[in-house]
Amino acid sequence: MRRLFALILTVCLWFSFVPSAAAEYYANLTPCSETPAFVQRAKSASTPQAKARFENYSSLLCGPEGYPHLIADGNLAHAGEFLIPSVLFLYIAGWIGWAGRSYLIAIRGEKNAEEKEIIIDLPLAISCSLGAAVWPLAALGEATSGKLYAKEGEIPVSPR
C-alpha cells in the first residue's frame, strides 16, 4: 500500500511542478545561424574545435544575445538537446551503480570482504562492470522477482 501511495504521490508531484511551455517563449528565439551576435562569435572562432562547435550549435535556437537556449519542454523536435543526453547520463550512472552493487554482492560472502572493498579484485570488478551493461533488464528482473527489495525482517529499526 505504501508503494502505491508513493507512486501516486510521485506522479502527482511530477505533473504539478512541470510548467507548460508557452508559445511566447519561442517568439524571441531564432535559429543561431541567423542571429547576428552568434554569427559574429562564430567568425571569431580560431581553432578547428571551436569552429566545429559553432557549426553544431548553428541548428539550435538562440536568443538575441547570441547564446543557444536549451529547450526541454518535451517536444521531440528538440530531443537531441536534452532528452538524449539525459537518458544517456541516467544509463551510464545506473551502469556504474549496478556494477558497484554487483561487486559488493559478489564479495559479500568471502572472509576478507572488507579488504576487497579497499583492494579491488580487478578481474571480478571487470566482469561485474561488463555484466552491468544490461542493468535496466537486470533491475526489472530483480524487481519483479522481489530479489531487489529487502525483506521486512532484514531492515533494522531504531529503538525509541
Domain 84-146 classified CATH 1.10.8.110? yes
**Is 87 within 8 Å of 76 (Cβ atoms)?**
no
What is the chain's pLDDT, residue by residue, as a tens digit (160 residues)? Answer: 788 888 888 877 777 765 655 556 677 888 999 999 999 999 998 899 999 999 998 888 898 899 998 887 777 888 888 888 899 999 999 999 999 999 999 999 899 999 999 999 999 999 999 999 999 999 999 999 989 888 888 888 888 7
Whole-structure pTM value: 0.66
- Can you give the residue ranges of every domain in the chain? 27-69, 84-146
Question: To 5 degrees, how large is the angle CA 73–CA 76–CA 79?
Answer: 80
Q: Do 38 and 32 form a contact (C-beta atoms < 8 A)? A: yes
- Break the chain down into helix, strand, coil percent, rounded to 5: 65, 5, 35
